[in-house]
Amino acid sequence: MRDLAIGVIGTGKMGADHAETISSVVARASVRAVVDIDHKRAESVASRLPSARSIVSVEELIQSPDIDAIIIATNSDAHTEQVLACVAAGKPVLCEKPLAPTVAECEKILRAEQVVGQRLLQVGFMRRFDPAYVELQQQLASGSIGHPLLAHCAHRNFGVSSRWEAADTIVSAAVHEFDVMPWLFGREVVGVNWSSPIPIASRSLPDPQLIVLELAGGPLVVAEVTMHSYGYEIRCEIVGDKGAIELAGNARTARRTRLQVSEALPEDFRLRFADAYRIELQSWVDAIHRWRSDPSGNEPISGADGWDGYRAAVITEAVIASMNNGQKTAVNYLPIPDLYRSSRTAS
Amino acid sequence: MRDLAIGVIGTGKMGADHAETISSVVARASVRAVVDIDHKRAESVASRLPSARSIVSVEELIQSPDIDAIIIATNSDAHTEQVLACVAAGKPVLCEKPLAPTVAECEKILRAEQVVGQRLLQVGFMRRFDPAYVELQQQLASGSIGHPLLAHCAHRNFGVSSRWEAADTIVSAAVHEFDVMPWLFGREVVGVNWSSPIPIASRSLPDPQLIVLELAGGPLVVAEVTMHSYGYEIRCEIVGDKGAIELAGNARTARRTRLQVSEALPEDFRLRFADAYRIELQSWVDAIHRWRSDPSGNEPISGADGWDGYRAAVITEAVIASMNNGQKTAVNYLPIPDLYRSSRTAS
Amino acid sequence: MRDLAIGVIGTGKMGADHAETISSVVARASVRAVVDIDHKRAESVASRLPSARSIVSVEELIQSPDIDAIIIATNSDAHTEQVLACVAAGKPVLCEKPLAPTVAECEKILRAEQVVGQRLLQVGFMRRFDPAYVELQQQLASGSIGHPLLAHCAHRNFGVSSRWEAADTIVSAAVHEFDVMPWLFGREVVGVNWSSPIPIASRSLPDPQLIVLELAGGPLVVAEVTMHSYGYEIRCEIVGDKGAIELAGNARTARRTRLQVSEALPEDFRLRFADAYRIELQSWVDAIHRWRSDPSGNEPISGADGWDGYRAAVITEAVIASMNNGQKTAVNYLPIPDLYRSSRTAS
Amino acid sequence: MRDLAIGVIGTGKMGADHAETISSVVARASVRAVVDIDHKRAESVASRLPSARSIVSVEELIQSPDIDAIIIATNSDAHTEQVLACVAAGKPVLCEKPLAPTVAECEKILRAEQVVGQRLLQVGFMRRFDPAYVELQQQLASGSIGHPLLAHCAHRNFGVSSRWEAADTIVSAAVHEFDVMPWLFGREVVGVNWSSPIPIASRSLPDPQLIVLELAGGPLVVAEVTMHSYGYEIRCEIVGDKGAIELAGNARTARRTRLQVSEALPEDFRLRFADAYRIELQSWVDAIHRWRSDPSGNEPISGADGWDGYRAAVITEAVIASMNNGQKTAVNYLPIPDLYRSSRTAS
């Protein structure tokens, strides 16, 4: 079995990381081509990979017959067109979150997949592959805390650029909760409510933001999302009617020095989620191999699909609306198409 | 200096505990009299104390010339009349929370203290004496996490009786947050918002409850209050713009047995706050001694005063209103009377 | 019942602390007299206490008819003579550890108590009153980890003076393990073995010291004792054949700031053991009150007795011998006199 | 670049695990052949791998021209002969610990490598690749706790078979400390001292065992090794003159249920060290690829080498001697051959 040949679109931080991860620690896959609007950056990334060339045109990379599957890590404005081209070409594609900047674009992608008649698109919600979140999910599924009723979440970043705006926090950070909470609870988000100790009307960034998600049937999620915090940290506790379960700390060592005991916190998500990204990519590669050897019983995806990306976009728009109008806001979805419903019956 | 002679009104769980604490581990004070509507219960409690008699009439206990100070631990319906009698008699009184069932009654108490011209009433918000909360308060005051912006709180009980109602959770449990949050932040609560994963309309108890408090100037408090939980646990994290600080666990030992490491959680608040109650009572006794020896520069209270009890009642009513009308609700207070303002200028 | 009148001999750090603790938070006791070789220091301490006079002569304090019980917190060289005087006077005495600098002196004290025919002496091993050690002891007694086989202990100090010598570490710090380990295991120490990463022959202080205690029947205790460490910390884990149990951390809050989460460690034992000292003193006072009201069925002590002080001295000498000769050293005791045996039959 | 073709000798638990790990999550390597004295077991393992055949003869596997590198996971009695054959064939070999049952055999292996003139052998001490141990090592190297003086280690297993003997604990479990402690401290073990709360003379297994290692220059290591414990757990704290650092817990979630908070402990080393094994194998494969493409500047190993395996064997024999004779025992090594010295000059 030869290595899966992967093309990477977008060689910024995220794309370069994925290319490096695949090249160093993912089995049965190689990055064969990269492309970026900054062609010099693409060349530089390609030169550090063992077997990758840089290509000038995105379309050429997607159509290239020696490219089996594609990773999209461009600015989200470019996602829709690129995903549509991959789907049209019948090639598996892993698109970084968020799937697209608008719900309308996500719907366009869903329609395109339905036309093709198969799910080719996976969305890069890597928390589903993080061993701690997986353990949380398994514990919930096993009924270890009874019926889950409430979640307390915190997403804290070690600073963002001065150009960062309130909506960016929702689109880029809170969006992870919009995917992982429905996944953990097995319930849809039906209402959202945005607030912040720093009013949106003020000139500065509202930070922290406090987002309450109401799930179908009643469960509530309280998600703090803070961009200027003491370090990068993700916290999550689920409270059920028989107990509660939370993510444990991630420190590998504890240090005692002058009058304190301390554990280090990481600067960014790459340290925290390095293993999740590796497992996500390996799992995606493995799914594609299975699908290529037997397309009848397999699909080339292993995590969040197009519908999950669409759902996150719908919630994102609702939260932004709640922020702008200061109201609790209902969340409404399209009827789920057959293509996406079938895979959800098991759960 | 002779012991302060204390009378205890109400010898249920809380009153009997206070009497026992004073008798065993509080210096410079003795319980000399107890009274209860269940006279047999009063007699039984008195018989276990070294120097206490049981009295049949509350009024007789309050007026008794050999009683220096009074603890009220009756049902809250009885508080107002009893507090007013103590204040009228010029005797220091420690009244268990909540101060009174209605805001109107609290206002009556404030007026009575203003007539007397001194603060004689302390309200039994014991968290202010808990060493962990005190450390939290000191860290905030020292600026160790910058400006506090957000609090995540959880109050979890190990079950309540089947007669417990939604409002009881607010009146008896959440009320602690209504006192301690303004105390920690040094800001008033100006709005509240109630929600629950279990709708109020359902027959069963809404539990957990999720209460968001909006503080003057913006800070937000998210308080989960759960009556049927895995044990008794109080959690609190304050997030500031330079860091965050939280209550650490309270376990004294960690045990490793068959495939797990575990720490015990207490069944009720008495284990968790035993030290807080002891320190509260000692501190109250000490304040009264100082006031008796020099009334000019001292007051016979050391913690939450009548105004704090009133504030908690105002917030309580607002949260109940929010629960009943499903809306975010504003919180409005009387102008603070001079008697209570002066003691707050320092902070 | 009037307060127990206590005299304090020695008003250095430890004695002044005890006097202050009794005066502020111990019920049913008052410090009535203090004495110190530095008379000015005694006067200064007395002046800060509500009802204490300073006395020039130790003998006068002990004999003073208005003094009911005595605390000895002098340099250990002075202990024996002072304890003997208290015992001869028939007065309860709480002597700080170590009981005396030599085993021979301890034996003299044991003989004196046997002549009097009652145990009047308690030795100030406060760990027996520390709530965490008490919980450890209760868990062991309940069989929660099966048969205890091994203990890992660490005693770390935040520095000592430059005059501190190797034997001081054993006499003043490790001595706590020599009392608390036999108490926890219910077994005698029969052999000891001293070592250090810094050889005794070098000019500098051997620090850390590593002391292995062999208990009767086999259990082993490994005790690290470090005088120049990152702060004051006491750790203890007991390993049994069904599990293990250890002291949990003592921090009350956890703080997150720039890229770390940290908990504070105390500078000295007084912060760590404040509660243990308070409980020790209250418990001692209560025992004396019971004994005074009914001497037939009660004894005026509540913790480590003269025999426990003697045992610790025997082990101390053995460990010093092991340090000096570089050998594992056997520990031998007198046959236990009837006076001390009877109280141990229950355990 | 084609995948490295790996042959696995021994398909018991460890060998089958390595084969599975390489096949699923190691990049640039495939298992091509397996062999086992139980040929059916070899066939069964081969059938679950994508591209492996089972071979009947060890010698045939080693000599097979399409096999690039070999993993030895047989009973340690067989290691020497197999390692020697690999070395003679000039093939990189990763041999599970312990390298060989006797020091004499290890010396034979060292001589064989010296004849060949290059280090082809890596010994499977996986802790060196565990991210927590790596962090410990980096912190020590950075001077974060000053000069390391003392280590407290515990190795606890969740039971062993009834045929397990005292020496097995040393050979199979404690041996990890014999490798990792010199690696962490950068110092050789010069003396050892064995003890146990369960005397060796008794019929039952001495368990726990307590092994003290004396390092050159003074540092001491106290290692508890317990075979019948509450679960699988590895603990390590290093105490330096400026602080201390320890391995943090490994739990990914913390669960609160009826009156306790708990974290799960694994049943065996495979869960605890899954990541260490993956990284060890990836790192070994990468080293071999670099060596194959440029043998002049590279060696086909990335962790413990033959000398490290020899060192562990020397310490193992000394600890067994200490156990048998009840004495502290000196540890003596051959002069380190040039082949192994050069790679150690950097540290």
* Per-residue burial over B191-222, b = 16 or more CB atoms within 10 Å of its CB, e = otherwise: bbbbbbbbeeeeeebbbbbbbbbbbeebbbbb
pLDDT at B346 over 80: no
Chain C: residue nearest A230 by CA?
Answer: C258
CA distances from C69 to A85, C4, C6, C29, D55 (A): 92, 7, 5, 10, 86
Q: Spell out which residues of chain D touch residue C241, defining contact as CB-CB under 8 Å.
A: 228
Handedness of CA D142, D145, D146, D152 (dihedral sign): negative
Q: Is A260 on the interface with C (CB under 8 A)?
A: yes
| Assigned CATH for C131-270 | 3.30.360.10
Average pLDDT of the segment spanning A120-146: 98
Which residue reads 């250990």 in tokens? Answer: C76
Q: What fold characterizes domain D4-126+274-305? A: Rossmann fold (3.40.50)
Quickly name the fold that domain B128-268 has: Dihydrodipicolinate Reductase; domain 2 (3.30.360)
pLDDT at A199: 76
What CATH fold (topology level) applies to the domain A131-272? Dihydrodipicolinate Reductase; domain 2 (3.30.360)
Say yes or no to pLDDT of B39 above 90.
Answer: yes
| C-beta atoms surrounding C48 within 10 Å | 11
Residue A149 and residue A146: Cα distance in Å, rounded? 9
Rounded mean pLDDT of chain A?
Answer: 96
Nearest to D265 among B231, B251, B256 (CB): B256
The pLDDT of residue A278 is above 70:
yes
CA distance D125 to D141: 20
What would you report as the CA-atom Rg of chain A, rounded to the nearest whole angstrom? Answer: 20
Minimal CA–CA distance to B156: which of A52, A240, D183? A240
The pLDDT score that the predictor gives to residue C347 is 41
The pLDDT score that the predictor gives to residue C204 is: 81
Radius of gyration of chain B (CA): 20
Q: D26 vs chain C: nearest CA distance in angstroms?
A: 32
Cβ distance of C262 and A257 shorter than 8 Å: no
Q: What is the model's pLDDT at position A203?
A: 62
- Which of chain A's residues have a Cβ under 8 Å away from the Cβ of B220? 195-197, 210
**CA of C147 vs chain B CAs: smallest distance (Å):** 13
Model confidence pLDDT, tens digit, residues B89-109: 999 999 999 999 999 999 999
How far is the alpha carbon of D229 from chain C, nearest alpha carbon, in Å? 7
pLDDT at D203: 63
Q: Calculate mean pLDDT across residues B196-207.
A: 82
Kindly report the pTM of this predicted structure: 0.96
Of C135, C244, C282, the CB nearest to B256: C244
pLDDT value, residue A274: 97
Say if C164 is an interface residue toward chain A (CB within 8 Å). no
Query: From the CA of B247, how many Å to the nearest CA of chain D?
Result: 15
Instruction: Report the candidate in A24, A72, A84, A73 with the shortest Cα–Cα distance to residue A51.
Output: A24
Q: Which residues of D touch A251 (CB under 8 A)?
A: 248
Residue D213 pLDDT > 80: yes
Domain residue extents for chain B:
4-126+274-306, 128-268
Could you tell me if A159 lies within 8 Å of chain C, comparing CB atoms?
no
pLDDT tens-digit readout, D116-150 = 999 999 999 999 999 999 999 999 999 999 999 99
Is the domain spanning B4-126+274-306 CATH 3.40.50.720? The answer is yes
Quote helix, strand, coil % in chain D, to nearest 5: 40, 25, 35
**Contacts D131 to A, Cβ<8 Å:** 252
The answer, for B222 touching chain A at a CB cutoff of 8 Å, is yes
The token pair that represents B222 in the structure block: 């998210």
Answer for the pair A164, A275: CB distance below 8 angstroms, yes or no.
Answer: no
Give the chains touching A; criterion: ≥3 Cβ pairs < 8 Å.
Answer: B, C, D
pLDDT reading at A68 higher than 80:
yes
Nearest to B226 among A218, A228, A239 (CB): A239
**Domain D131-268 falls under CATH 3.30.360.10:** yes
Find out whether the peptide bond into D65 is cis, omega within 30 degrees of 0. no
Q: Check pLDDT > 60 for residue D63.
A: yes
Residues A294-326: pLDDT tens digits?
A: 999 999 999 999 999 999 999 999 999 999 999
Whether residue D345 has pLDDT greater than 80: no
Given a contact cutoff of 8 angstroms between Cβ atoms, the answer to whether B245 and C256 are in contact is: yes
Q: What whole-number distance in Å separates Cα of residue A243 and Cα of residue B231?
A: 9
Provide the mean pLDDT of chain D. 96
Contacts of D260 in chain C (CB under 8 A): none
Q: Which chain C residues contact residue B287 at CB under 8 A?
A: none
The answer to whether the beta carbons of residues B50 and C293 sit under 8 Å apart is no
Q: pLDDT per residue over A4-13, tens digit each?
A: 999 999 999 9
The per-residue pLDDT for C199 is 76
User: What are the tokens at A204?
Assistant: 């500065």
Task: Read off the pLDDT band of A145 (50, 70, 90).
Answer: very high
Do A4-126+274-305 and A131-272 share a fold? no
Cβ–Cβ < 8 Å for D10, D17: no
Give the model's confidence band at B343: pLDDT under 50 very low, under 70 low, under 90 confident, else very high. confident
Ranges A51-65, A128-142, C35-49, C193-207: which has the least confidence: C193-207
The C-alpha angle D322, D325, D326, rounded to 5 degrees, equals: 70
| Interchain contact C151–D (C-beta under 8 A) | no
Q: Does position B188 have pLDDT exceeding 60, yes or no? A: yes
- Give CA–CA dist D179/D189, Å, rounded: 10
pLDDT in tens, D290-317: 999 999 999 999 999 999 999 999 999 9
Quickly count: other Cβ atoms within 10 Å of residue D153's Cβ: 22
* Least Cα separation, residue D218 to chain C (angstroms): 4
DSSP A106-144: HHHHHHHHHHHTS--EEE--GGGG-HHHHHHHHHHHTTT
Show residues of chain A in contact with C258, CB under 8 Å. Answer: 230-231
**Whether residue B202 has pLDDT greater than 70:** no
In this complex, the residue of C197, C208, C220 whose CB is nearest that of residue D195 is C220
Task: For residue B48, report the phi and psi dihedrals to the nearest 5 degrees.
Answer: -90, -5
The one-digit pLDDT tens for each residue of chain C (347 residues) are 689 999 999 999 999 999 999 999 999 999 999 999 999 999 999 999 999 999 999 999 999 999 999 999 999 999 999 999 999 999 999 999 999 999 999 999 999 999 999 999 999 999 999 999 999 999 999 999 999 999 999 999 999 999 999 999 999 999 999 999 999 999 999 999 999 998 776 668 999 999 999 999 999 999 999 999 999 999 999 999 999 999 999 999 999 999 999 999 999 999 999 999 999 999 999 999 999 999 999 999 999 999 999 999 999 999 999 999 999 999 999 999 999 997 775 44
Instruction: Check residue A345 and give its pLDDT.
Output: 55
Average pLDDT over residues B303-318: 98
What six digits make up the tokens of B167?
């409002």
